[in-house]
Amino acid sequence: MSAAPASGRLLVAAPSLHDANFSRTVVLLCRYSSEAGAFGLILNRAGKLPLRKALPDLSKGREERLWRGGPVETETLWMLHRLQALEQVSEPVMDGLWFAGGAAFTKRLVEAAGPDVDGDVYRCYAGFAGWGTGQLEAEIREGSWAVVACGSQAPFGTDDDLWAEMSIRSLLPGGTNANFIDLARLN
């Protein structure tokens, strides 16, 4: 059974979702309100461009990847991070995970954070995924998405297996609990 949508939860595309923008994707809900809609970032779509293409003034030698956050406003930049030192200038998604947006702001955050080629501490995204009031709820009822709880580590896993892992988690009893998989591994 799917959890209810909320900030900090994952949307896992159903195998039957054939929309090219969302097929086999995992979206982190960064903002959610049943009255205002939802805002999220696709976690498992690595872009082909380096972040330096979007932020040409970035310090030399920076090799971070620019991820595709979604099909909406693809010229905007967003950053997910686990940098507690930057929490005051970012919006919380869940305990230990924040996001921020805007090219100039993202550049300052990336420069302050230092290099992170593997994307283990932060990732930058072009564009976002968005739903108007009631739209996401209707897509969940239609079976296009499963809602899965996650911890602050999920956005920084490899993009290759995230959809498969979260698809399986959405089917397991208790799989909507963020701690379920970690606790199951201990048994």
pLDDT tens-digit readout, 130-139: 999 999 999 9
The average pLDDT across 67-88 equals: 91
Give yes or no for a contact between 186 and 35, defined as CB atoms under 8 angstroms apart: no
For 87-146, write each residue's pLDDT tens digit: 788 999 999 999 999 888 888 888 888 888 888 899 999 999 999 999 999 999 999 999
The average pLDDT across 55-80 equals: 91
Q: What is the pLDDT of residue 180?
A: 53
Residue 35: both structure tokens together: 């009255």
| DSSP one-letter string for the chain | -PPPP-TTEEEEE-TT---TTTTT-EEEEEEEETTTEEEEEESS-EEEEEHHHH-TTSPTT--PEEEE--SEEEEEEEEEE--GGGGGGSEEEETTEEEEE-HHHHHHHHHHH---TT-SSEEEEEEEEEE-TTHHHHHHHTTSEEEEE--TTGGGS-TTTHHHHHHHHHHSTTTTSTTHHHHHHH-
Q: What is the pLDDT of residue 23?
A: 96
pTM reported for the whole predicted model: 0.89
Q: Which residues contact 76 (CB under 8 A, 6 or more apart)?
A: 101, 102, 103, 126, 127, 128
Q: Considering only the top CATH level, what class is 9-186?
A: alpha beta
For 137-170, write each residue's pLDDT tens digit: 999 999 999 999 888 888 887 666 889 888 888 8
Q: What is the pLDDT of residue 93?
A: 95
Give the confidence band of 75 by pLDDT, cuts at 50, 70, 90: very high
Q: What is the pLDDT of residue 145?
A: 97
Give the confidence band of 174 by pLDDT, cuts at 50, 70, 90: low
Give yes or no for a contact between 78 and 128, defined as CB atoms under 8 angstroms apart: yes
Note the residue count of the chain.
187
pLDDT surpasses 80 at 173? no
Domain ranges across the chain: 9-186
Integer Cα distance of 147 and 149 in angstroms: 7
Q: What is the mean pLDDT of the chain?
A: 87
